[in-house]
Amino acid sequence: MNEHQYAVIMAGGIGSRFWPMSRQNFPKQFLDILNTGQTLIQSTFTRLTDFILPQNIYVVTSNEYIGIVKEQLPNIPHENILGEPSRKNTAPCIAYISFKLMQKDPKASLIVAPADHMVTDRIAFKKVCLEALSFVNKHNALITLGITPLHPNTGYGYIQRELHTVSDNVYKVKTFTEKPNLELAKTFLASGDFLWNAGIFVWQVKNVIKAFENYLPEMYDVFLAEKDAFNTPDEKKALDHIYPLCTSISIDFGIMEKANNVYVIPSSFGWSDLGTWNSAYENLEKDFLGNAIAGDKVMVIDARDCIVHSGNNRLVVLQGMKDFIIVDSNDVLLICKREKEQEIKDYVAEVRRNIGDEYL
């Protein structure tokens, strides 16, 4: 394995669409949503260790989750678990790890991966990542992995590629499109040159820092002013100064949609962003009536196309329901039509308004 190759797992989100299993103090990246025996962050770490040295894998998370990360990833050095003082989206998170690595290893190349995605084909994932690392180490390039779409999904962003490769399986990016409506998604799928945006990035650290200088200069300046504090006892103090000065913005909006050296590799490695209960439904095994069950004490009688997730020892008996999400946690029972899953965030906000934060 190459000692100059690194990975960072972004693990600071709160996963509100997976409420009530996902809570503010224990969000979805730390849960075994798919009943595999591993939490989502554990699965992410495991597949990265197939080609990245464990000591070269970092996690950026919220300060409040550092203890959970240490418990779930005992094989990662504790100093590689980095806490953010506040949530400011993905651009500050990536600036943080990039400036930190630049101080440590100016030759560093970096894979950026969300903690809460699913990948079923680890061999294909490794192959694509190594292709991307090889390309960025020869070119001034920012690579994003694009997933070959399987259906006209309206929950994902899309990447349009140029028609011809610039290298084996590497294409220049033409456009980015946020979540489209169904008709537009169908058009994208029919065209053959659109890919799902997986939010997995690969680049040399020096080149992404240059991109921050060009496209997010104010953020670049505040990190640059504190760069000498990284990898020293003053790092936390520096972050407390930096983060209030940072705009909350994604790396997609801040850099990827503006830069002229962005490339994409079309990929198929069994990917899902597991953003909603329906995406979990799609990736769980189902019985002959289309029910996806995660839980040891669930009985389904004459019910169809439901997802049932029971995280405790209570017996759940389900009869006569169709197309429902049923989630039974220790203190909350959610019963919701699958077609209304995008409204779960609204239900969480309603709970906060009427009851407070006790169940969030």
Is the pLDDT at 207 greater than 70, yes or no?
A: yes
Q: Tell me the pLDDT band of 277, cut-offs 50, 70 and 90.
A: very high
Mean residue pLDDT across the chain: 94
Cis ω for the linkage preceding 20 (within 30 of 0): yes
304-357 pLDDT, tens digit per residue, is 999 999 876 789 999 999 999 999 988 999 999 999 988 898 999 999 999 999
Q: What is the largest CA-CA distance in the chain?
A: 64
47-61 pLDDT, tens digit per residue, is 999 999 999 999 999
Instruction: Please name every residue paired with 59 in a beta bridge, in sequence order, or none if there are none.
Output: 9, 81
pTM of the model: 0.93
- Give the per-residue pLDDT at 53: 97
- Give the per-residue pLDDT at 33: 87
101-151 pLDDT, tens digit per residue, is 999 999 999 999 999 999 999 999 999 999 999 999 999 999 999 999 888
- Give the per-residue pLDDT at 274: 86
Non-local CB neighbours of 151 within 8 Å, separated by 6+ positions? 189
Average pLDDT over residues 1-6: 94
Backbone dihedral region of 356: left (phi > 0), alpha (psi from -120 to 50 degrees) or beta?
left
- Give the per-residue pLDDT at 275: 84
Non-local CB neighbours of 256 within 8 Å, separated by 6+ positions? 142, 144, 173, 176, 201, 262
Find, among 265, 12, 252, 256, the residue nearest to 116 by Cα.
12
Domain limits of the chain? 5-272, 277-354
CATH 3.90.550.10 fits 5-272, yes or no: yes
Q: Tell me the pLDDT band of 276, cut-offs 50, 70 and 90.
A: confident
Phi, psi (degrees; rounded to nearest 5) at 298: -120, 125
Q: Tell me the pLDDT band of 1, cut-offs 50, 70 and 90.
A: confident
Long-range contacts (CB closer than 8 Å, 24 or more residues apart) made by 302-310: 305/338, 306/338, 307/277, 307/278, 307/280, 307/281, 307/338, 309/21, 309/33, 309/277, 309/280
Q: State percent of the chain over pLDDT 70.
A: 100
Non-local CB neighbours of 318 within 8 Å, separated by 6+ positions? 291, 298, 299, 300, 301, 303, 306, 308, 326
Dihedral sign (CA 73, 66, 23, 337)? negative
Give dist(CA 1, CA 54) in Å, integer: 10
Dihedral sign (CA 281, 284, 290, 291)? negative
- Give the per-residue pLDDT at 312: 67
- Give the per-residue pLDDT at 179: 85
Average pLDDT over residues 227-249: 96
